[in-house]
Amino acid sequence: MTTMSEGAFDAVAELFERVSGIRLAPAKKALVEGRLQRLAQDAGQTSLDRYVEHLLHEAGEAELTKVVDKLTTNETYFFREPQHFEFLTQQLRTQPPRGAFRVWSAASSSGEEAYSIAMLLADVLGSRPWEVVGTDLSTAMVEAGQRALYPMERARHTPHDYLKRFCLRGEGRYQGQLLIQRSLRERVHFRGANLMQDLPADLGQFDVIFLRNVLIYFDAPAKAAITRRVLRQLQPHGHLLTGHAESLANLDLPIRALQPAVYVPA
């Protein structure tokens, strides 16, 4: 299949930005071509440019959802940026929650972050009430989180004790994969949400919000808008955690830094 013309790439980038709020840089052209090849073939299109025309003028919402799913899929792994999990462990041990403890993985991708949080909460809080909510723009990623089946490679940073207690090793056709234990899956809930739009009215309030490795895709006004929207779901005593490569400086937000990439309401 031929490569995509600059005009077709610009059209896809504009369409994707309108839906997701994320602007695809020209350097992402090869990535976009690679991820749309199969979709174009499945749609019976003979070239990527013809597929883009199909997207713009003929395709329905289902096809657009497939494109968004393809372009927002990022590989992740369990216990990424371990400083945050160390911080959360310390907080829970020194200030045990009085009621149900709720954590939101706001850009949960395929669920590794949400289940990492769940393992930690199960370890520290045990049978006390807690819940993890994972949200993502991609319906495919939401479904992946619900399946809770992952390549073993993504667990390379997971404590060995957690692997034994909370994961099942795949056998036969599931060789090389792991499944999260049902006891954890029952306390982790995944749903769709677009951080650039109004959040679900029944999302509720959280003690901790993980907003990591998503703000890097947005300009300063969009970063501020997303963060303000997310902060409405944070308890007054809560903590907001961002990626260590992301900065909220100079965005005029009602928060203060407690330590690198950890914020509390101002």
Task: Respond yes or no: is residue 35 known to be catalytic.
Answer: yes
What does the block give as tokens for 225?
A: 């808008």
- Is-contact 177 171, C-beta < 8 A? no
User: What contacts 66, CB < 8 A, 6 or more positions away?
Assistant: 39
Of 23, 35, 80, 229, the active-site residue reads: 35
Task: Respond yes or no: is residue 136 known to be catalytic.
Answer: yes
pLDDT at 63: 86
The domains spanning 6-71 and 82-265 adopt the same CATH topology: no
Strand ranges inside the chain, DSSP E = 101-105, 130-136, 149-151, 167-169, 177-180, 188-192, 206-211, 234-242, 255-259, 262-265
Q: Mind listing the pLDDT tens digit of every residue in the chain (266 residues)?
A: 678 999 999 999 998 888 777 778 888 899 899 989 989 999 899 899 999 999 888 887 778 878 887 887 666 899 999 999 999 999 999 999 989 999 999 999 999 999 999 999 999 999 899 999 999 998 989 999 999 999 999 999 999 999 999 999 999 999 999 999 999 999 999 999 999 999 999 999 999 999 998 888 888 999 999 999 999 999 999 999 999 888 898 999 999 999 999 999 99
User: What contacts 236, CB < 8 A, 6 or more positions away?
Assistant: 265
Domain boundaries, the chain: 6-71, 82-265
Nearest partner of 70 among 26, 15, 112, 113, judged by Cα = 15
pLDDT at 17: 84
The predicted-structure confidence for 106-156, as pLDDT tens digits, reads as follows 999 999 999 999 999 999 999 899 999 999 998 989 999 999 999 999 999
pTM confidence score: 0.84
Nearest partner of 104 among 223, 216, 200, 222, judged by Cα = 200
pLDDT at 218: 85
pLDDT at 171: 93
CATH of domain 82-265: 3.40.50.150
Q: Which fold has domain 6-71?
A: Chemotaxis Receptor Methyltransferase Cher; domain 1 (1.10.155)
Q: CB burial class (10 A; 0-12, 13-18, 19+) of residue 163?
A: middle
Query: Cα-atom radius of gyration of the chain, to the nearest Å?
Result: 20
Cα→Cα distances 104→13, 19, 99, 211, Å:
29, 22, 16, 8
pLDDT at 114: 98
CA dist 146 and 143 (Å) reads 5
Of 69, 136, 185, 207, the active-site residue reads: 136
